[in-house]
């Protein structure tokens, strides 16, 4: 005979009269989710012992749940079992006694378990266990190697990015630490803040008035070929003041008219003083509201 798993050996059976039978009420036994099967069997063994004519230690028992908290117990004296089991790979009752509920299956009862388990089955199970464990470890190793490769790649990416970051700092800050001893990120932020503040155009209110274009516009309005000598010329944010010597009245009037026409300026009443050598004209100009700043200078 042979088993379905390729094991060679005898599949033996015994008449039910040679076995001890009982239907046990196991509903009173404590159910512990993580309790071992051996402990469960020992507890059932104590229940079974109550109906046995011999001590439980001399009987090898197997248990099959029947449902509803009942368990079918089947036992055989150890000495007899050793004789019957010799060379067999399984030992089952030929049939079930009549008091056993019909839901029980005689083929599910195998008495060659635990210490009576045949060496061939034990070896086969050990082999299966080993192959399963080895497969598990191998799969894990493959996964670990895959992760290790990925990790190496990501670390390389991080390293490259960190090196590029250092290069970026060095490209704008020069040496790595700097004289201040501050870390590069702080130095970069500090420099950026300072640059943002110093490269921005000052507000119109805080920016000083540039008078160079005003001077240019005044000189652009100056009449050509006018014989005159500018004694003082002052241009400030408030306006412009000129003191000019001219040889006579016509030259003075020409200058006044030209300054009156100067773009962006309003001329106040001129002040004239005569002398034996000519005339001195004092002109005061203020910016008109429509004056537009332009880029030309004298």
Partner 1 sequence: MAILVAAASSVALFGLAWSRASDAVSRANAAALRLASVREDADEVRHLRAREERIAVSERPSHDVIARVGGSLAEVGLPESRLKSVTPVSDRGAAGSGSAHRVQSVRIVLEPMTLAELGPLLRIWRREHSLWTTSGVELNTASRGRDPEEAYRVTITVSAVYLADAGRGVQK
Does 250 bind partner 1 (CB under 8 A)? Our answer is no
SS3 239: coil
Closest to partner 1 by CB, 237 vs 268, is 237
Residue 180 beta carbon to partner 1: minimum distance, rounded to whole angstroms: 11
Judged by CB under 8 A, the stretch of 21-29, 106-114, 197-205, 253-261 that binds partner 1 is 197-205
Closest to partner 1 by CB, 237 vs 261, is 237
Cβ pair 97, 16 in contact under 8 A: yes
Gyration radius of the chain over CA positions = 57
Does 130 bind partner 1 (CB under 8 A)? Our answer is yes
Binding string, 205-224, against partner 1, x = CB under 8 A? xxxxxxxx--xx--x-----
Q: How far apart are CA 25 and CA 43, in angstroms?
A: 12
Does 168 bind partner 1 (CB under 8 A)? Our answer is yes
Pair type for strands 240-246 and 88-93 = unpaired
Closest to partner 1 by CB, 10 vs 287, is 287
Cβ pair 47, 26 in contact under 8 A: yes
Q: How far apart are CA 224 and CA 219, in angstroms?
A: 10
Residue 189 beta carbon to partner 1: minimum distance, rounded to whole angstroms: 7
Judged by CB under 8 A, the stretch of 54-62, 107-115, 141-149, 263-271 that binds partner 1 is 141-149
Which member of 39, 51, 127, 157 binds partner 1 (CB under 8 A)? 157
Q: How far apart are CA 245 and CA 255, in angstroms?
A: 11
Cβ pair 293, 217 in contact under 8 A: no
Does 139 bind partner 1 (CB under 8 A)? Our answer is yes
Closest to partner 1 by CB, 15 vs 208, is 208
Q: What element of type H or E holds 118?
A: none
Closest to partner 1 by CB, 136 vs 268, is 136
Does 37 bind partner 1 (CB under 8 A)? Our answer is no
Nearest to residue 263, comparing CAs of 219, 298, 206? 219
Cβ pair 212, 297 in contact under 8 A: yes
Closest to partner 1 by CB, 177 vs 230, is 230
Residue 224 beta carbon to partner 1: minimum distance, rounded to whole angstroms: 12
């Amino acid at each position: 005979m042979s088993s379905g798993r390729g094991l060679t050996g005898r599949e033996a059976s015994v008449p039910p009269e040679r076995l001890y039978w009982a239907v046990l009420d196991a509903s009173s036994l404590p159910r512990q989710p993580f309790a071992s099967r051996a402990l469960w069997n020992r507890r059932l063994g104590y229940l079974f012992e109550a109906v046995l004519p011999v001590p439980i230690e001399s009987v090898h028992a197997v248990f099959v749940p029947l449902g509803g908290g009942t368990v079918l117990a089947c036992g055989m004296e150890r000495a007899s079992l050793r004789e019957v089991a010799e060379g067999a790979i399984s030992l089952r009752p030929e049939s079930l006694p009549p008091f056993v509920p019909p839901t029980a299956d005689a083929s599910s009862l195998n008495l060659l378990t635990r210490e009576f388990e045949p060496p061939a089955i034990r070896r086969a199970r050990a082999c299966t266990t080993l192959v399963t464990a080895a497969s598990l470890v191998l799969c894990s190793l493959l996964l670990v190697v895959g992760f290790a490769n990925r990790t190496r790649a990501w670390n390389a990416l991080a390293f490259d990015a960190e090196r590029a970051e250092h290069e970026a700092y060095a490209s704008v800050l020069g040496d790595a630490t700097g004289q201040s001893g501050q870390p590069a990120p702080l130095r970069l932020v500090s420099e950026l803040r300072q640059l943002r503040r110093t490269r921005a155009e000052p507000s119109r209110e805080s920016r000083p008035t540039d008078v160079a274009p005003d001077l240019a516009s005044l000189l652009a309005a100056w009449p050509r070929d006018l014989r005159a000598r500018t004694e003082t010329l002052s241009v400030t944010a408030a306006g412009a003041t000129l003191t000019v010597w001219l040889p006579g009245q016509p030259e003075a009037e020409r200058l006044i008219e030209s300054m009156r026409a100067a773009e962006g300026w309003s001329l106040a009443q001129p002040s004239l003083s005569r002398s034996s050598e000519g005339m001195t004209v004092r002109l005061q100009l203020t910016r008109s509201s429509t004056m537009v700043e332009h880029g030309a200078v004298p």
